[in-house]
């Protein structure tokens, strides 16, 4: 049986998988309804990148290092993809959005596997 903390963490990872699947679908279907050249997008991209780098740098107990490293790396890569989206030609935006969604899906799956592993 899961502890309440494990159950909450699993639900959060499932939300990441679902969010990633939605972003992949939006990227591949061409439903891009945001202005990627606004300062807000740039600020959000840098914030996600810095949040991921902070998670990589932050000291954590030895038993949760892999989980923290997975979270930090996925956020840092997501921030880089978001920065790239703001600078590439419009034809590439859908593909990069799908890559960002795949990062979220992979993060959710790896995070779930790490939470469910025996200790």
Domain ranges across the chain = 4-116
CA 42 to chain centre: 16
Length of the chain: 119
CA 77 to chain centre: 8
Reading the chain (119 residues) residue by residue, the pLDDT tens digits are 788 988 999 999 999 999 999 999 999 998 887 888 899 999 999 999 999 999 988 888 877 788 889 999 999 999 999 999 999 998 899 999 999 999 999 999 999 999 888 77
Q: Is 115 within 8 Å of 42 (Cβ atoms)?
A: no
pTM of the model: 0.88
């Amino acid at each position: 049986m899961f502890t309440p903390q494990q159950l909450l963490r699993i639900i959060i990872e499932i939300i990441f998988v679902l969010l990633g699947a939605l972003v992949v679908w939006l990227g591949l279907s061409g439903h891009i309804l945001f202005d990627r050249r606004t300062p807000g997008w740039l600020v959000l991209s840098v914030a996600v990148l810095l949040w991921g780098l902070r998670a990589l740098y932050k000291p954590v107990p030895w038993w949760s290092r892999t989980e923290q490293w997975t979270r930090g790396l996925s956020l840092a890569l997501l921030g880089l993809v978001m920065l790239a989206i703001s600078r590439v030609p419009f034809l590439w935006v859908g593909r990069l959005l799908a890559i960002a969604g795949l990062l979220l899906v992979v993060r959710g799956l790896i995070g779930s596997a790490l939470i469910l592993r025996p200790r």
